């Protein structure tokens, strides 16, 4: 009996050490308050994005929930207002799987919102399907949609002085690659749509997030606006819950024991959005609320510049904004 007791106690202590030392992650330590400032967070009706928006609202910011699903976003607005005591939390419709919707959102935002201090490119997807414009959904949503959105809102960020752009990437960017001939021929960064191809496409899109941030920092140098990308940690969000039921059941015990919850997963995003003194690190990559080195491809300035130029063409960035609503069916963004 005593041996079993010692074994159980040892197992508990081992779990505590591993969880708090490896999996739990650091916490954002900034005490910055945001009264009078405006933040926009994509994909903020659930998961990491919702936790990020809630924290910003508690700090007094006006928070724009930029989401595709109106019903779920309005429910999140209600909950965040109630939990934060901040009524300056609003929903604006944005479908990153439609470049037309991105333009419509930007036009509406620029018409109705006099300032933008923090833009958080949080939304991300993985799975079957293509965007309205025919791109693979991971590349189209995770990279192209955010690329266009950021560029269309840059002037408003610059008008506010020390604005910040924060893009949620992932450690999996290290497995990413960009095949430009394949992208030109198939409008995607993978050659098929199997489960393995979806995983590859997600990795490639996260590399795009890192390269986009690097090139954006080069272009913003001296403007007062800074940008950062990050790995949020291994988080149990709806990106996991989109798996089939049996896989969910297998994953759940491990997820509950070891994976971060959305609040934990939002901490590095908040660090990049709020921490004072990191402005000289614009364009860099963070994890666990600290500066980290990116993979070799993520440090390739020539690759970053080429991706930017290709993305400009694919999004027709020079075209004027449209004020027309999209009228699309709901598309779930995480």
- Strand ranges (E), 109-151: 118-121
* Strand 89-93 relative to strand 290-292, pairing: unpaired
Orientation of helix 146-159 relative to helix 195-220, angle to 10°: 20
Interatomic CA distance for residues 233 and 149, integer angstroms: 25
Under a CB-based contact definition with an 8 Å cutoff, are residues 73 and 45 in contact? yes
Out of 15, 202, 228, 285, pick the active-site residue.
202
Helix 47-58 with 70-84: angle, nearest 10 deg: 40
For residues 125 and 141, is the Cβ–Cβ distance under 8 A?
yes
Q: Is 48 helix (H, G, I), strand (E, B) or coil?
A: helix
The b-or-e profile of 7-22 (16+ CB within 10 A means b, else e) is: eeeeeeeeeeeeeeee
Please indicate whether residue 236 is annotated as part of the active site. no
Question: What 8-state DSSP symbol labels residue 292?
Answer: E
- Distances in Å between the Cα of 192 and the Cα atoms of 64, 130, 150, 196 are 36, 12, 29, 9
**Distinct helix (H) and strand (E) counts, the chain:** 13, 8
Q: How many CA atoms lie within 13 A of 281 on its CB side?
A: 18
Pairing mode, if any, of strands 226-231 and 164-168? parallel
Active site residue ranges: 202
């Amino acid at each position: 009996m005593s041996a079993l007791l010692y074994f159980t106690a040892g197992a508990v202590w081992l779990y505590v050490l591993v969880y708090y030392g490896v999996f739990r992650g650091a916490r954002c330590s900034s005490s910055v308050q945001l009264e009078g400032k405006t933040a926009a967070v994509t994909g903020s009706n659930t998961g990491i994005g919702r936790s990020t928006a809630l924290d910003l609202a508690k700090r007094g910011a006006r928070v724009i929930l930029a989401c595709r699903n109106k019903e779920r976003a309005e429910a999140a607005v209600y909950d965040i207002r109630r939990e934060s005591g901040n009524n300056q939390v609003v929903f604006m419709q944005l479908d990153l799987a439609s470049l037309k919707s991105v333009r419509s959102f930007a036009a509406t935002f620029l018409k109705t919102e006099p300032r933008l201090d923090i833009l958080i490119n949080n939304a991300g997807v993985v799975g079957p399907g293509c965007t309205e414009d025919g791109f693979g959904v991971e590349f189209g949503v995770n990279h192209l949609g955010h690329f266009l959105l950021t560029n269309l809102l840059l002037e408003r960020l610059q008008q506010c002085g020390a604005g910040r752009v924060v893009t949620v990437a992932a450690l999996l960017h290290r497995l990413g690659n960009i095949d430009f001939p394949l992208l030109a021929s198939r409008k995607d960064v993978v050659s098929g749509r199997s489960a393995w191809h979806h995983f590859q496409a997600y990795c490639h899109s996260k590399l795009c997030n890192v390269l986009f941030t690097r090139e954006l920092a080069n272009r913003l140098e001296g403007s007062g606006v800074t940008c950062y990308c990050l790995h949020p940690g291994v988080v149990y969000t709806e990106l996991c819950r989109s798996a089939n039921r049996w896989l969910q059941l297998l994953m759940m015990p491990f997820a509950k024991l070891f994976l971060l919850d959305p609040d934990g997963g939002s901490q590095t995003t908040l660090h990049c959005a709020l921490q004072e003194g990191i402005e000289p690190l614009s364009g860099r990559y963070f994890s666990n609320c600290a500066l980290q080195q990116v993979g070799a491809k993520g440090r390739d300035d020539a690759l970053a510049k080429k991706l930017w130029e290709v993305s400009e063409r694919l999004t027709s960035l020079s075209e004027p904004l449209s004020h027309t609503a999209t009228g699309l069916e709901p598309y779930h963004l995480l």
